[in-house]
């Protein structure tokens, strides 16, 4: 039988291991094979929950940002019957990161795929937004430059208003303030906008207002992880 692939969430904010299920610690205690988005983050996380862990005894494969994961290695490990962990840089693997490609291969080989419970900034932001949680769409990253960026914002807003569907997207943290400026520039005044920043951290910021109200007092978001949600009307 092929091996097992565990999807293991890690905290989305520093010092918030308490947001993980106990199953995460139990599962990672004995795993010796991992695919990780960032090797340094993965090693630090594992040592934080298992002080006596011998890191050098673990086989890690870092997912290349351009070439993607080493699929040949994954197939080899699964054929050998290994239990494998997948760790993203923050949050849940397979959601806005390369883990989904590994999962697809595991399914094609008939391997067991087991997701563990943990924090996800997209779902947490939606929960706290007050916007439509019955119909929503995650759009990943928006285009960086105009005219593609402004066109995409308007298209999402129009679709949101027509379908009453919450539109969710993220941005590279150092571009947060630029994205907020573009949203306020291109969205209608009555469109609802939620900004959810640094979720699960002590200084988390979550606020939903109409675009016209945001314009009265525009926050400085800085370079902390943020999720943006809009709902047109």
Looking at residue 184, its pLDDT comes to 97
**Residue 157 and residue 104 share a domain:** no
Looking at residue 23, its pLDDT comes to 94
Give me the torsion for CA of 206, 212, 217, 222, rounded to 10°. 50
Segments of the chain scoring below 50 in pLDDT: none
What's 195's domain CATH number? 3.30.950.10
pLDDT digits (tens, 9 = 90+) for 83-108: 999 998 888 998 888 889 999 999 99
Q: d(Cα 225, Cα 199) in Å, to the nearest integer? A: 8
pLDDT digits (tens, 9 = 90+) for 182-211: 999 999 999 999 999 999 999 899 999 999
Looking at residue 138, its pLDDT comes to 97
**Residue 44 and residue 93 share a domain:** yes
Strand partners, 7: 86, 115
Question: Whole-prediction pTM value?
Answer: 0.90
Domain's final residue, options 63, 88, 115: 115
**Residue 148 and residue 226 share a domain:** yes
Domain's final residue, options 115, 137, 152: 115
């Amino acid at each position: 039988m092929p091996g097992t692939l565990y999807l293991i969430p890690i905290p989305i904010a520093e010092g918030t291991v308490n947001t993980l299920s106990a199953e995460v610690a139990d599962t990672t205690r004995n795993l010796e094979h991992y695919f990780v988005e960032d090797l340094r983050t993965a090693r630090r996380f594992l040592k934080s929950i298992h002080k006596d862990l011998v890191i050098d005894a673990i086989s890690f494969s870092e997912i290349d940002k351009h070439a993607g994961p080493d699929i040949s290695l994954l197939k080899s490990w699964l054929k050998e019957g290994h239990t494998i962990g997948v760790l993203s840089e923050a949050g849940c693997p397979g959601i806005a990161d390369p883990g989904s490609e590994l999962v697809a291969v595991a399914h094609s080989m008939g391997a067991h795929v087991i997701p563990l419970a943990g924090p996800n900034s997209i779902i947490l932001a939606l929960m706290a937004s007050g916007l439509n949680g019955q119909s929503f769409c995650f759009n990943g990253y928006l285009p960086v430059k105009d005219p593609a960026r402004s066109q995409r914002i308007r298209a999402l807003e129009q679709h949101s208003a027509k379908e009453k569907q919450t539109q969710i997207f993220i941005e590279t943290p150092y571009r947060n303030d630029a994205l907020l400026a573009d949203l306020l520039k291109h969205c209608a005044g009555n469109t609802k906008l939620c900004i959810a920043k640094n979720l699960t951290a002590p200084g988390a910021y979550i606020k939903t207002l109409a675009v016209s109200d945001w314009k009265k007092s525009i926050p400085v978001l800085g370079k902390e992880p943020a999720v943006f949600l809009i709902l047109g009307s």
